[in-house]
Structure 1
Amino acid sequence: MAKVCFGMIASLDGFINDQHGKLDKLYESFKPSDEINEEMARTGAVVMGRRTYDMADDPDTYADHYEFQVPIFVVTHHPPARHPKENSQLSISFVTDGIETAIQKAQSAAGQKNVVVLGADVGQQALRANLVDELQIAFAPILLGTGTRMFDHLEDREIQLEKIRSIETDKQIEVYYKVSR
């Protein structure tokens, strides 16, 4: 069964976007190494929340330019009126009955590859439901001071982690943790 990885890029002070909800400052320094690209190639499906999905100015660009050309499952209460463009590798499904269903569908689509969960809210939902096998956190060399925190709503839940490995580039460090159950 596919491994479920909650992966994000965060500032050193724990924010996944700035005070305006933008990611630009975090991604300015993100330059994937060969090792990071190999890890990304192990992705067979993506689960994201509606806010993460809506960050694209034009949802049709997922089919043309998104870094993960795999099936995408968007957790939402309100699917958009118009379905976005897809291609032979990338399909987009809107899942309205919760994170468990989205992860289940993504695992089925991913086969032996990994499922990557993107977005603070949907990632925290997956952590609370004990659906995450691994955390993958890239730390950008910036202190934002404000924005959306990566782990703000875990409701006093303690989650034990075991460091598996780290990848260091000239601009950042990416740390991989196994979630202990």
Structure 2
Amino acid sequence: MGKVVLDVSMSLDGFTAGANVRKEEPMGDGGERLHEWMSGEGPDGGVDTGIRRQVDAAVGATVIGRRTFDLGLVPWGGTPWPGVPSFVVTHRTRQDLLGDNGGTFAFDGLEAAARRAKDAAGDKDVLVLGADVARQLLGAGLLDEVWLHLVPLLLGAGTPLFGGVRAELVPEGAPVTGAASVTHLRYRVLKPGRP
């Protein structure tokens, strides 16, 4: 069975989106710069595109926060990965929504969404989108790993990662540095009673 994994780009000052997140700027002011490494440009760009391919190959389903869904649906043109089932965590459930790219969005509570996503993913991983839902999953003991792409950028304000939640993270492999000095890190979430 796959893992529940947060795959996220973060600024050096700890933000996963810039200030003033809104429909016109879903990543907030300057937040899109957190994803520039994915283009693979620069002398070590092949490292970055290799990391992106690993992430894309691992995804079997997604768990998405409601706000991330609301802001991302139009830019994604459907589910974040074409054809991949996505589970939106919300208190405002609704009928499933078929995305323009063949993927389905289902709407459920936190634990049910995580369980359904793991079932749908099979042997692949469940990727988490949204800092708030990632914090909730971590607090509930449902997050297994964090894949962090540390971008050498100071946003000054924005959406913090894991605000107020404590956990111990165990490194999985050595850090990898790609273009523009983005550092790719992997951590396993240490859970009580499990090594």
User: TM-score scaled by structure 2?
Assistant: 0.80
The answer for unaligned runs of 5 or more in structure 2 is 22-27, 40-47
Contact 1:137-1:175 at 8 Å conserved across structures: yes
Go from structure 1 to structure 2 and tell me whether the alpha carbon gap of 1:143 and 1:61 turns closer, same or farther (over 3 Å shift).
Answer: same
The answer for unaligned runs of 5 or more in structure 1 is none
What is the identity, as a one-letter code, of the residue corresponding to 2:126? V
3-state DSSP class of the match of 1:29?
Answer: helix
Alpha-carbon distance in structure 2 between the residues aligned to 1:55 and 1:15: 17
Contact 2:90-2:110 at 8 Å conserved across structures: no
3-state DSSP class of the match of 2:37?
Answer: coil
Q: Which of 32, 36, 43 in structure 1 is aligned with 2:52?
A: 36
User: TM-score scaled by structure 1?
Assistant: 0.85
Contact 1:59-1:85 at 8 Å conserved across structures: no
Go from structure 1 to structure 2 and tell me whether the alpha carbon gap of 1:77 and 1:30 turns closer, same or farther (over 3 Å shift).
Answer: same
1:58 aligns with 2:74: yes
Q: Deviation per CA, 1:1-46, whole angstroms, max 9, x where unpaired? A: 2211112111110001111122312123333422331232111000
3-state DSSP class of the match of 2:38?
Answer: coil
What is the identity, as a one-letter code, of the residue corresponding to 1:169? G
Structure with higher RCO (Cα < 8 A, 6+ apart): 1
Give the share of equivalent positions with the same residue, in percent. 35
Q: Which of 67, 70, 76 in structure 1 is aligned with 2:84?
A: 70
Alpha-carbon distance in structure 2 between the residues aligned to 1:122 and 1:60: 19
What is the identity, as a one-letter code, of the residue corresponding to 1:125? Q
What is the identity, as a one-letter code, of the residue corresponding to 2:170? E
